[in-house]
């Protein structure tokens, strides 16, 4: 049993300097795999609603008629289930987190107008 | 011119002598009258006027004697001696009768021993012719005057207070038979004896008055006549008799060894030259031992605790401000003899240990009266320690302690008595929020407590003086005493402050409840509170006009050494602080409205639990719980029994040493 | 001169979180993130706090507590809801015992999204709270009723 | 006491908190560094106090403020007596008085945590008072005076003759500075079982006053340390800095202990180190 | 009134990371009675199985608690896999071990920090949490989440760790080990910590057994009880023996956790060296039908997930028996007669996790 056993650690910390990341002066640490927030490339979306169905916290609503894709940031747990589910790869997880907000944030993206039916038939 | 002056002096002398005798006999007369009075009204009138007369008398004595030195009065002693002797035997027989009635063999035995010693003394004085000599039997000096003031003012105020108190006492305790005439008889008899005690120069007289106070105390403790009361009464008697025996022993010793009967006089004895040091030292030791028993020092402390069964005014009068002071009074009287002596050192240590340990025990007490009793024991211990050290600084501190303690402690006792009748308990825990229910009494108690331990009030100054006296005392005793004082003063802060905290604790749900306290109690409480403040403010005056002359005459102190007692700078600071303290509560009152408007009142922090009322919270399973806010009592560390055992062991060892030293000296 | 922005003391309460956001709030105090750089101290006592950081959604029992604590914080004060549970109830939104986000009980000034919210994000949230705090102080000074 | 010294005393009103604030600020910085963190700005204590005065006034009971103000006044008064070269014993007793005010302030709210904090503060007071008194006594024995002026005028370094007393004083200084292992009654750290103990119910400006008083007190206590090395200002100041660094280190290297060992150990230190040192002085 | 102090302890209290409430009845500072009350963070998430797809439910299962979230998801997935008789690929099993042990490391470090803080040892708290960040960093780099990993799924794991990364993780842990042992030394040897932990909150072996203690509480009282001994997942291939300390006081429980740090390091090392190549998941078809008790060892002790399905995509029942629930009877016994100052120390010594105890 000894007293002041932590001395070595203290001395080392004094010499090594702080371990602190000086955020926000320094940028935040972003890992490649970090699940920051969901981004959407609305242009390629086909409004199939697969993301909506697979979302565990009902954060996504897709309106096929209006061609809107809506995400409630205050519900999304960034699990990435929607990303996996999306057939068109239009969803992505961005490793940067979403900044804090003062009001509820429900983002609605308006898809481009219905493309010409002709080319669509061609792909089918 | 010269003739005229002498005339005035002579006149004054006569007048003062008359005053002394008046102070002794007037209470005695009153006592006898009161014994025969049954009507409350009449008693009220007699007690009040009597008390006023006594109080004025002592004040008058002070004024009349201001500036004069110790003065002695020759009184024809032949007859008085015989009377005293007979009375002494009468008292003894009376006690023996009580012992028989209550089967107290041990007490009876001690009484018999004491009687035997007294008879030896009587024979001795007859054969050596001592009894026939004339002596300076009565006297007064500055110290006696201070004691007389305490007795006369505090004592008579307590008598007045007792009127109202005893009335409600009997209302609260219908089971106790109403023996108030006897009660007041005893009170005034006691006052008379106390005056006699402090004005006696002749040790035989002093001893006689000493015995009377013992008996009064014994009877007053047993006033309720319950089993407990009687038991504790006899305990007090038993332990005080031990002191009585040694006191009597001292008388015998002087009779058989002293070259002249003069030595039965206090003044002669304490100023005996170096060649007669031994002659003075042995009685000094024996009488100091008696003083230890009377002032309930360890190991004799138990009687004072037991004495708390007596009605509260009795505790205030006998067991804190006056009678127990008689114990320390005689030790302080012998301080010049004890100074620098081994015996003095031992006595000082008994005091020091008592101060520290009794303070520790006070921490564990939640019974207000017991706490006050322990604190009294502790403070007396401090006085004893000072007296044992014996230097003039120490004596200065001792006398200041006696003064401050007398006023503050009697105030606390009386307040406790009033509170007890109001809330029906003397448990400190029950006094929670007293500031709301009884604001005036609570304030007075706070002032009393502040007087007991806080800078810049009186006790603190004396503690400070004591400390200096101890440091200057010879090693290693001085260091030990300093240690006891340092530790003890920390302890004192603890138990007083926690009590203060209890009183101040704010309690929304309680109502004011002090309307029904009667007028005489109020008056007395106000006056004593005023006295606490008065002595706090005027102590430099007291020191300059009364204490310093006393020290010069009794201790051969020089003026330069006296100048060191109080520093001018300190005095200014202390007085400034005092004024600050007085002004601050007023400012609170002034700013009250401003504050109330700007503050938002929030509930207490209860960890986020709901609080349906201010003093409770929603506890587990939704039950409303009262927040209990008891003080700490630290029983595990400062347990009463444990401390007493340690204290008794140490002090008994010291006392054995004292006796060993005495026997060594005699042989 | 406002000192509020330089010495915001926070009080953290776990209303019914899964601990994820809790430990991230705590992590902000530790060497790697060290919010004491901004004078932020985690005080345990609402009466000393300026910023009330709540994690987790509100359930029946915690709503009383949250309300009680909120009332004991002296104005000006701001509430930061950390994690999506505190915003809307998050994944537990549909649980029978969850009332919803913190705004169902007390007004919320800043929401920090994330599940769990990252320490950097929490720092951002508190920084955002500081300017709101300052506004509230000015409002209070003008004599408006403090929130 | 001449005019010079009275001036020193008065200047304490202003410089006390300034110096105290910087000391405490550096303390927090150094503590943070010891923990591998950056820590707050050095001026942080001033920001904190400034902030507290800008907060809303809330209270359980109005008179709370009164006691805390009394605490501040008497701490300042005590410091003034000290720096004006006054009587050490008076300083010690006035300090006790100030603390009694603080404790009563905590008591007055009748709140559970403040109550327990007040009890603990009292235990602390009981634990440290003896040693502080012995410190004064030791200085008196060496220099023959209780007055700070005279103690400073003593030629040599008191530390050489009072090593035991000095160590004992350091021991209780830890209580006074509210540093671990003795931060029982209230702590600078958040995670204490007593919430904020003594100060639980003080909020806003009231707490600000408390913090301000703490700054004054810190400076004055370091003044005591200075006395041990007061022979020349340089040694004095270096010693004070070293002592404070030691305190910070101890704060960082220990747990908070419970009140029983705190009380008992403080007394043992008082009796053994203080007592032996004083007896040693006699023998020399 | 007597000489009692009655104070509320919690739900909002600085030493309680999570809300519970105790009515403490004190005499001086001795606890005479402690009456607990809970429910401040009860969410009722088990009921959500009726609304969520059983595969997606793993996200909820791991949010039972954010500290050992990974192990919760493992327990849940194991349960489903057992009912559906799915054998996961070996690589997935080993990855699960690695992440589980990482969780244990970070959880124990977190606990050690909080424990130190409960005793007022701020520096040690900071040290432990500083070291913990290393674990979180590795976790984030491999799974994308610092505290909620979301990397376990029914049928395997969601993401792989490259062999290079595995090597660098191993190297990183070796590098940090000296600092860990230095910190361990402080916990185990410091005089002041000893004063606060030794002989405090004693739970004898017999009472630990009778009261059904699990995890470090049981192991600190001398009972060798560790669900990893059952060899679930890849544990059966690894060389593992539980840390058992007798003593039963806070010190013993602290020692168990300190030493487990090194067992975890060892297990991770073993898993990395033995890591097989191959797939990380198998496809899951159909819905579970049947019931299973899935037992795993969390940092706080054994957790049991009871799962029952009826062939639809929603489960019938999901029930969790958490280690904290099992340890609370022991805690109540430890608290009686302790000092107020030791209440946080004792409460923390069982590492209470109300998050999963109340769900
Ligand atoms: S990341 Fe998860 S929670 Fe968020 S929108 Fe996608 S599926 Fe829903
Ligand atoms: S799953 Fe992809 S494509 Fe389908 S609606 Fe969602 S985002 Fe659009
Ligand atoms: S937001 Fe996520 S991590 Fe935070 S408390 Fe809620 S479920 Fe847990
Ligand atoms: S469930 Fe258990 S804890 Fe809750 S009320 Fe019933 S017995 Fe008590
Ligand atoms: S739902 Fe359960 S926990 Fe809630 S009140 Fe009913 S029985 Fe109690
Ligand atoms: S035991 Fe604690 S850390 Fe682990 S899952 Fe449960 S609540 Fe979370
Ligand atoms: S099984 Fe039990 S918990 Fe479920 S509904 Fe019935 S009584 Fe309630
Ligand atoms: S509460 Fe007790 S009995 Fe019920 S499932 Fe959990 S462990 Fe079993």
Q: Which residue of D has its CA nearest to E26?
A: D116
Per-residue pLDDT at B142 exceeds 70: yes
Rounded to whole angstroms, the Cα distance separating C53 from C86 reads 10
CB B648 within 8 A of CB B299: yes
Which residues of chain D are within 8 Å of residue B437 when distances are taken between CB atoms?
none
**pLDDT category of residue E57 using cuts at 50, 70 and 90:** confident
Which structure tokens are listed for B502?
């209890």
Tens of pLDDT, residue by residue over A19-44, are 787 777 777 777 778 888 888 888 88
Contacts of E137 (CB under 8 A, 6+ apart): none
CB–CB contact B610 C64 (8 Å): yes
H-helix segments, B272-391: 277-294, 302-306, 312-316, 323-333, 335-338, 342-363, 368-389
CB B252 within 8 A of CB B121: yes
Per-residue pLDDT at B457 exceeds 70: no
Find chains touching chain B: ≥3 CB pairs under 8 Å: C, D, E
The residue ranking higher by pLDDT, D189 or D270, is D270
Per-residue pLDDT at B519 exceeds 60: yes
Average pLDDT, integer, range B613-632: 77
CB–CB contact E127 A9 (8 Å): yes
Average pLDDT, integer, range B505-518: 76
Lowest mean pLDDT: which of B17-31, B598-612, D166-180, E98-112?
B598-612
Average pLDDT, integer, range D154-164: 83
Which residues of chain B are within 8 Å of residue D129 when distances are taken between CB atoms?
486, 489-490, 493
Find chains touching chain E: ≥3 CB pairs under 8 Å: A, B, C, D
Give the rounded percent of residues in chain E with a pLDDT score beyond 70. Answer: 99
Average pLDDT, integer, range B609-638: 78
Average pLDDT, integer, range D46-72: 84
Rounded to whole angstroms, the Cα distance separating B282 from B253 reads 8
The H or E element spanning position B467 is helix B458-472
Average pLDDT of chain A is: 79
The H or E element spanning position D6 is helix D3-34
* In chain C, where the domains are located: 9-141
CB–CB contact B479 D56 (8 Å): no
Q: How far is the CA of C53 from the centre of ligand 5 (A)?
A: 28
Residue B4 has a pLDDT of 62
Give the rounded percent of residues in chain B with a pLDDT score beyond 70. Answer: 89
Tens of pLDDT, residue by residue over D243-282, are 999 988 888 888 888 888 888 999 999 999 888 888 888 7
Rounded to whole angstroms, the Cα distance separating B389 from B369 reads 30
CB E271 within 8 A of CB E196: no
Report the candidate in E201, E39, B634 with the shortest Cα–Cα distance to residue C62.
E39
Atom of ligand 1 at shortest range from CA of A54: 7
Q: Which residue is closest in CA terms to ligand 2's atom 3?
A: A45
Tens of pLDDT, residue by residue over B571-583, are 777 777 777 777 7
Residue B594 has a pLDDT of 65
Query: φ and ψ at D49, to 5 degrees?
Result: -65, -40
Of the partner residues E143, E179, E183, the one whose CB lies closest to the CB of residue A33: E143
Q: Which residue is closest in CA terms to ligand 2's atom 1?
A: A86
**pLDDT category of residue A123 using cuts at 50, 70 and 90:** very low
* In chain A, where the domains are located: 30-98
Lowest mean pLDDT: which of D51-60, D202-211, E9-18, E179-188?
E9-18
Average pLDDT, integer, range B440-450: 86
DSSP β-ladder status, C78-82 and B616-618 = unpaired
Q: Does C93 touch chain A (CB under 8 A)?
A: yes
Distance of CA D58 to the CA centre of its chain: 27
Per-residue pLDDT at C118 exceeds 80: yes
Q: How far is the CA of D121 from the centre of ligand 7 (A)?
A: 51
Shortest distance, CA A113 to any CA of chain C (angstroms): 31
For chain C, which residues lie within 8 Å of any Cβ of chain E, measuring from their own Cβ?
11, 13-24, 26-27, 30-32, 42-46, 56-57, 59, 61-62, 65, 69, 90-92, 94-98, 115-116, 118
Backbone torsion region of residue B153, taken as left when φ is above 0, otherwise alpha when ψ lies between -120 and 50, otherwise beta: alpha
CB C109 within 8 A of CB C79: yes
Per-residue pLDDT at C18 exceeds 60: yes
Residue E219 has a pLDDT of 87
Q: Which residue is closest in CA terms to ligand 3's atom 6?
A: C85
Rounded to whole angstroms, the Cα distance separating B316 from B373 reads 10
Tens of pLDDT, residue by residue over A44-66, are 888 888 888 888 888 888 888 88
Residue B593 has a pLDDT of 65
Per-residue pLDDT at B590 exceeds 70: no
Residue B353 has a pLDDT of 92
Give the rounded percent of residues in chain E with a pLDDT score beyond 90. Answer: 0
Q: Which ligand gives the minimal distance to the CA of E358?
A: 6
**Is the beta carbon of E319 within 6 A of some atom in ligand 8?**
yes
Residue D84 has a pLDDT of 86
Task: Say whether the B–A interface has 3 or more Cβ pairs within 8 Å.
Answer: no
Rounded to whole angstroms, the Cα distance separating B303 from D146 reads 40
Which residues of chain A are within 8 Å of residue C125 when distances are taken between CB atoms?
100
Average pLDDT of chain D is: 86
CB A50 within 8 A of CB A14: no
**Is the beta carbon of A106 within 6 A of some atom in ligand 1?**
no
For chain D, which residues lie within 8 Å of any Cβ of chain C, measuring from their own Cβ?
28, 32, 35-41, 44, 46-51, 53-58, 190-192, 195-196, 199-204, 207
Q: Helix, strand, or coil here: A72?
A: strand
DSSP β-ladder status, E30-37 and D58-59 = unpaired
Rounded to whole angstroms, the Cα distance separating E198 from D177 reads 27
Residue B1 has a pLDDT of 45
H-helix segments, E230-306: 250-274
Report the candidate in E69, E53, C98 with the shortest Cα–Cα distance to residue E61.
E69
CB B404 within 8 A of CB B535: yes
Average pLDDT of chain B is: 82
Token pair 């409350």 is found at: B40
Report the candidate in D100, D75, D176, D141 with the shortest Cα–Cα distance to residue D280.
D141
C 83-142 → D contacts, CB under 8 A: 137, 140
Mutational pocket test of ligand 3: of C59, C83, C121, the residue with most ligand atoms within 8 Å of the beta carbon: C83
Lowest mean pLDDT: which of B302-306, B625-629, C131-135?
B625-629
**pLDDT category of residue B127 using cuts at 50, 70 and 90:** low
Residue B354 has a pLDDT of 92
Average pLDDT, integer, range D124-140: 89
**pLDDT category of residue B132 using cuts at 50, 70 and 90:** very low
Per-residue pLDDT at D284 exceeds 50: yes
**Is the beta carbon of A71 within 6 A of some atom in ligand 2?**
no
Of the partner residues D180, D189, D258, the one whose CB lies closest to the CB of residue E341: D258
Per-residue pLDDT at D96 exceeds 80: yes
CB–CB contact D55 C2 (8 Å): no
Q: What's the Cα-to-Cα distance from B336 to each of B333, B339, B557, rounded to whole Å? A: 7, 5, 11
**Is the beta carbon of A59 within 6 A of some atom in ligand 1?**
yes
Residue C88 has a pLDDT of 85
**pLDDT category of residue B535 using cuts at 50, 70 and 90:** confident
Distance of CA D137 to the CA centre of its chain: 19
Rounded to whole angstroms, the Cα distance separating B230 from B280 reads 38
Q: Which ligand gives the minimal distance to the CA of E306?
A: 8
Lowest mean pLDDT: which of B10-19, E152-161, E177-186?
B10-19
Distance of CA D214 to the CA centre of its chain: 7
Query: φ and ψ at E147, to 5 degrees?
Result: -115, -30
Rounded to whole angstroms, the Cα distance separating D78 from E191 reads 37
Atom of ligand 6 at shortest range from CA of E354: 7
Shortest distance, CA D177 to any CA of chain A (angstroms): 19
Residue C101 CB neighbour total at 10 angstroms: 26
Q: How far is the CA of C121 from the centre of ligand 2 (A)?
A: 28
DSSP β-ladder status, C110-112 and C78-82 = parallel
Supply the DSSP symbol for E120.
T
| CATH class of the domain whose range is E4-357 | mainly alpha
Q: Which residues of E189-204 are buried (b: 16+ CB within 10 A; e: fewer)?
A: ebebbbbbbeebbbbe
Per-residue pLDDT at C117 exceeds 50: yes
Q: Which residue of E has its CA nearest to B432?
A: E1
Of the partner residues C13, C30, C98, the one whose CB lies closest to the CB of residue E126: C30
CB–CB contact D193 E344 (8 Å): yes
Distance of CA D269 to the CA centre of its chain: 18
Beta carbon pairs, A and E, within 8 Å: 64
Query: φ and ψ at D39, to 5 degrees?
Result: 85, 170
Shortest distance, CA A106 to any CA of chain C (angstroms): 12
Per-residue pLDDT at D210 exceeds 70: yes
Q: Does B602 touch chain C (CB under 8 A)?
A: yes
Q: Helix, strand, or coil here: C41?
A: strand
| Neighbour-count burial of C144, counting CB atoms closer than 10 A to its CB (0-12 exposed, 13-18 middle, 19+ buried) | exposed
Residue C147 has a pLDDT of 47
Token pair 């054969």 is found at: B127
Domains held by chain D: number: 1
Per-residue pLDDT at C97 exceeds 70: yes
Q: Which residue is closest in CA terms to ligand 6's atom 2?
A: E353
CB B239 within 8 A of CB B303: yes
Which residues of chain D are within 8 Å of residue A19 when distances are taken between CB atoms?
36-37
Q: Which ligand gives the minimal distance to the CA of E44?
A: 5
Average pLDDT, integer, range D147-167: 85
Per-residue pLDDT at B129 exceeds 70: no
Tens of pLDDT, residue by residue over B244-255, are 888 888 888 888
Q: What's the Cα-to-Cα distance from B77 to each of B80, B82, B85, B133, rounded to whole Å? A: 5, 8, 12, 7
Lowest mean pLDDT: which of A34-38, B203-207, B589-593?
B589-593
Tell me the CATH number of domain C9-141, given options 3.40.50.300, 3.40.50.720, 3.40.50.12280, 3.60.21.10. 3.40.50.12280
Report the candidate in E101, E16, E8 with the shortest Cα–Cα distance to residue E348.
E16
Residue B357 has a pLDDT of 92
Rounded to whole angstroms, the Cα distance separating B28 from E247 reads 74
Average pLDDT, integer, range B175-201: 86
**Does the ipTM exceed 0.85?**
yes
Average pLDDT, integer, range E254-278: 86
Which structure tokens are listed for C144?
């408006």
Interface test with E, best of D185, D191, D195 (most E CBs within 10 A): D191
**pLDDT category of residue A122 using cuts at 50, 70 and 90:** very low
Find chains touching chain D: ≥3 CB pairs under 8 Å: A, B, C, E
Average pLDDT, integer, range B180-209: 87
Rounded to whole angstroms, the Cα distance separating C115 from D135 reads 58
CB–CB contact A18 D249 (8 Å): no
The widest CA-to-CA distance across chain D, in whole angstroms, is: 60
Q: For chain A, first and last CA: distance in Å?
A: 78
Q: Which ligand gives the minimal distance to the CA of A56?
A: 1
Query: φ and ψ at B423, to 5 degrees?
Result: -100, -5
| CATH class of the domain whose range is A30-98 | alpha beta
CB E355 within 8 A of CB E336: no
Q: Which ligand gives the minimal distance to the CA of E297?
A: 6
Mutational pocket test of ligand 1: of A76, A93, A95, A108, the residue with most ligand atoms within 8 Å of the beta carbon: A76
Domain encompassing residue D63: 3-283
């Amino acid at each position: 049993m000894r007293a002041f056993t932590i001395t070595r650690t203290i001395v080392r910390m004094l010499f090594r300097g702080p371990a602190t990341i000086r955020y926000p002066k320094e940028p935040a640490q972003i890992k490649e795999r970090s699940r920051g927030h969901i981004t959407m490339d609305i242009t390629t979306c086909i409004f199939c609603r697969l993301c909506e169905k697979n979302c565990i916290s009902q954060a996504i609503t897709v309106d096929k008629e209006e061609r809107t894709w809506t995400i409630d940031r205050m519900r999304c747990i960034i699990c990435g289930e929607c990303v996996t589910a999306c057939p068109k790869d239009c969803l992505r997880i961005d490793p940067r987190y979403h900044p804090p907000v003062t009001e509820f944030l429900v983002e609605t993206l308006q898809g481009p107008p219905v493309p010409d039916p002709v080319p669509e038939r061609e792909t089918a | 011119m010269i003739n005229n002056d002498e005339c005035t002096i002579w006149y004054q002398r006569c007048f003062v002598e008359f005053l002394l005798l008046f102070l002794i006999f007037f209470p005695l007369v009153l006592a006898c009258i009161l014994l025969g009075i049954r009507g409350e009204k009449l008693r009220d009138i007699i007690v009040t006027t009597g008390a006023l007369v006594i109080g004025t008398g002592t004040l008058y004595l002070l004024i009349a004697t201001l500036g004069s030195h110790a003065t002695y009065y020759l009184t024809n002693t032949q007859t008085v001696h015989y009377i005293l002797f007979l009375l002494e035997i009468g008292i003894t027989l009376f006690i023996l009768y009580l012992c028989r009635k209550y089967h107290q063999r041990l007490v009876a035995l001690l009484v018999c021993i004491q009687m035997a010693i007294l008879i030896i003394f009587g024979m001795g004085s007859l054969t050596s012719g001592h009894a026939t000599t004339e002596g300076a039997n009565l006297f007064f000096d500055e110290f006696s005057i201070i004691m007389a003031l305490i007795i006369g003012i505090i004592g008579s105020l307590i008598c007045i207070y007792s009127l109202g108190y005893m009335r409600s006492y009997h209302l609260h305790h219908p089971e106790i038979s109403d023996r108030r005439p006897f009660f007041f008889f005893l009170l005034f008899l006691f006052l008379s004896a106390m005056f006699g005690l402090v004005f006696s120069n002749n040790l035989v007289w002093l001893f006689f008055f000493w015995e009377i106070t013992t008996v009064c105390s014994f009877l007053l403790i047993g006033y309720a006549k319950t089993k407990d009361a009687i038991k504790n009464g006899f305990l007090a008697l038993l332990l005080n008799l031990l002191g009585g025996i040694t006191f009597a022993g001292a008388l015998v010793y002087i009779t058989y060894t002293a070259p002249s009967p003069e030595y039965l006089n206090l003044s002669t004895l304490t100023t005996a030259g170096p060649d007669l040091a031994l002659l003075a030292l042995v009685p000094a030791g024996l009488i100091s031992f008696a003083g230890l028993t009377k002032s309930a020092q360890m190991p004799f402390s138990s009687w004072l605790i037991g004495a708390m069964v007596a009605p509260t005014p009795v505790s205030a009068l006998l067991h804190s401000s006056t009678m127990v002071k008689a114990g320390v009074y005689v030790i302080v009287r012998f301080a010049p003899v004890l100074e620098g002596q081994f015996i003095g050192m031992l006595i000082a240590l008994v005091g020091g240990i008592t101060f520290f340990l009794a303070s520790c025990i006070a921490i564990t007490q939640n019974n207000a009266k017991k706490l006050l009793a322990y604190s009294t024991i502790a403070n007396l211990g401090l006085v004893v320690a000072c007296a044992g050290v014996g230097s003039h600084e120490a004596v200065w501190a001792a006398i200041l302690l006696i003064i401050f303690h007398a006023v503050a402690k009697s105030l606390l006792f009386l307040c406790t008595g009033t509170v007890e009748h109001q809330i029906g308990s003397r448990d400190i825990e029950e006094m929670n929020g007293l500031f709301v229910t009884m604001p005036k009494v609570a304030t007075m108690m706070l002032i009393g407590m502040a007087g007991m331990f806080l800078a810049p009030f009186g006790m603190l100054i004396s503690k400070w003086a004591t400390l200096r006296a101890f440091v200057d005392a010879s090693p290693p005793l001085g260091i030990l005493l300093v240690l006891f004082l340092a530790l003890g003063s920390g302890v004192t802060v603890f138990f007083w402050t926690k009590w203060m905290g209890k009183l101040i604790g704010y309690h929304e749900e309680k109502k004011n409840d002090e309307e029904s306290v009667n007028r005489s109690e109020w008056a007395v409480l106000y006056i004593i509170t005023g006295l606490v403040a008065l002595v706090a403010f005027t102590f430099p005056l007291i020191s300059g006009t009364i204490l310093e002359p006393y020290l010069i005459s009794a201790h051969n102190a020089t003026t330069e050494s006296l100048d060191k007692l109080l520093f001018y700078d300190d005095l200014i600071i202390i007085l400034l602080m005092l004024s600050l303290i007085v002004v601050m509560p007023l400012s609170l009152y002034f700013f009250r409205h401003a504050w109330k408007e700007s503050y938002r009142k929030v509930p207490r922090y209860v960890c986020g639990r709901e609080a349906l009322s201010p003093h409770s919270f929603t506890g587990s399973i939704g039950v409303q719980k009262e927040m209990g806010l008891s003080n700490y009592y630290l029983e595990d560390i400062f347990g009463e029994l444990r401390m007493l055992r340690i204290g008794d062991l140490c002090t008994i060892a010291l006392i054995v040493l004292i006796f060993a030293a005495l026997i060594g000296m005699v042989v | 001169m406002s000192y509020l922005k330089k010495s915001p003391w926070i009080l953290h309460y776990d209303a019914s979180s899964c601990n994820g956001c809790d430990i991230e709030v705590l992590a902000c105090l530790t060497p790697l993130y060290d919010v004491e750089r901004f004078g932020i101290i985690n005080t345990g006592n609402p009466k000393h706090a300026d910023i009330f950081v709540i994690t987790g959604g509100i359930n029946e029992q915690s709503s009383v507590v949250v309300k009680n604590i909120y009332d004991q914080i002296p104005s000006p004060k701001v509430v930061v809801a950390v994690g999506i549970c505190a915003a809307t109830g998050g994944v537990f939104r549909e649980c029978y015992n969850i009332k919803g986000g913190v705004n169902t009980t007390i007004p919320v000034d800043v929401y920090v999204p994330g599940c769990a919210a990252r320490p950097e994000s929490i720092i951002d949230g508190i920084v955002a709270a500081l300017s709101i705090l300052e506004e509230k102080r000015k409002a209070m000074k003008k004599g408006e009723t403090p929130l | 006491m001449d005019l010079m010294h009275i001036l020193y005393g008065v200047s304490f009103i202003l410089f006390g908190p300034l110096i105290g604030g910087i000391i405490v600020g550096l303390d927090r910085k150094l503590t943070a560094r010891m923990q591998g963190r950056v820590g707050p700005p050095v001026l942080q204590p001033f920001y904190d106090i400034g902030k507290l005065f800008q907060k809303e006034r809330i209270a359980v009971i109005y008179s709370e403020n009164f006691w805390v103000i009394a605490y501040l006044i008497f701490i300042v008064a005590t410091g003034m007596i000290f720096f004006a070269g006054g009587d050490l014993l008076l300083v010690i007793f006035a300090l006790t008085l100030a603390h009694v005010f603080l404790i009563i302030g905590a008591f007055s709210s009748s709140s559970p945590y403040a109550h327990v904090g007040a009890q603990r503060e009292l235990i602390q007071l009981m634990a440290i008072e003896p040693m502080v008194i012995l410190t004064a006594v030791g200085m008196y024995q060496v220099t023959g005076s209780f007055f700070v002026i005279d103690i400073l005028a003593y030629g040599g370094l008191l530390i050489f003759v009072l090593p035991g007393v000095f160590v004992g004083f350091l021991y209780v200084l830890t209580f006074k500075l509210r540093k671990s292992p003795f931060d029982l009654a209230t702590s600078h750290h958040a995670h204490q079982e007593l919430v904020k103990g003594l100060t639980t119910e003080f909020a806003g400006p009231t707490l600000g006053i408390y913090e301000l008083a703490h700054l004054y007190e810190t400076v004055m206590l370091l003044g005591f340390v200075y006395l041990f090395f007061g022979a020349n200002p340089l040694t004095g100041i270096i010693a004070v800095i070293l002592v404070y660094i030691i305190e910070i280190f101890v704060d960082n290297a220990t747990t908070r202990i419970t009140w029983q060992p705190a009380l008992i150990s403080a007394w043992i230190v008082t009796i053994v180190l203080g007592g032996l040192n004083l007896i040693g002085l006699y023998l020399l | 009134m007597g000489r009692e102090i009655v104070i509320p302890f919690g739900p909002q209290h600085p030493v309680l990371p999570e809300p519970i409430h105790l009515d403490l009845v004190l005499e001086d500072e001795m606890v005479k009675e402690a009456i607990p009350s809970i429910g401040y963070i009860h969410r009722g998430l088990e009921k959500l199985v009726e609304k969520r797809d059983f595969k997606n439910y793993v996200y909820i299962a791991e949010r039972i608690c954010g500290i050992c979230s990974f192990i919760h998801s493992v327990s849940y997935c194991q349960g489903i896999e057992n009912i559906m008789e799915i054998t996961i690929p070996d690589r997935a099993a080993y990855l699960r071990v690695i992440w589980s042990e990482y969780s244990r490391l970070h959880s124990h470090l977190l606990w050690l920090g909080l424990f130190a803080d409960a005793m007022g040892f701020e520096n040690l708290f900071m040290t432990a949490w500083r070291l913990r960040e290393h674990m979180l960093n590795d976790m984030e780099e491999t799974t994308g989440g610092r505290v909620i990993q979301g990397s376990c799924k029914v049928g395997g794991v969601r993401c792989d760790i490259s062999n290079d990364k595995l090597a660098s993780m191993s190297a990183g842990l070796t590098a940090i080990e000296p600092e860990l042992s230095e910190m361990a030394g402080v916990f185990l040897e410091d005089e002041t910590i000893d004063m606060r932990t030794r002989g405090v909150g004693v739970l004898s072996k017999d009472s630990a057994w009778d009261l059904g203690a699990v995890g470090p509480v049981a192991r600190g009282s001398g009972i060798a009880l560790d669900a990893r001994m059952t060899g679930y997942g890849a544990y059966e291939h690894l060389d593992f023996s539980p840390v058992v300390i007798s003593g039963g006081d806070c010190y013993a429980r602290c020692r168990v956790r300190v030493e487990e740090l090194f067992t975890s390091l060892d297990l991770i090392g073993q898993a990395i060296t033995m890591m097989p190549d191959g797939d990380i998941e198998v496809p899951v078809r159909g819905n579970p039908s049947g019931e299973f008790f899935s037992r795993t060892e969390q940092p706080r002790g054994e957790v049991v997930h009871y799962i029952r399905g009826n062939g639809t995509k929603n489960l019938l029942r999901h029930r969790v028996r958490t280690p904290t629930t099992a340890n609370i009877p022991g805690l109540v016994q430890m608290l009686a007669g302790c000092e107020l100052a030791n209440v946080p120390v004792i409460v923390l010594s069982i590492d209470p996790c109300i998050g999963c105890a109340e769900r």
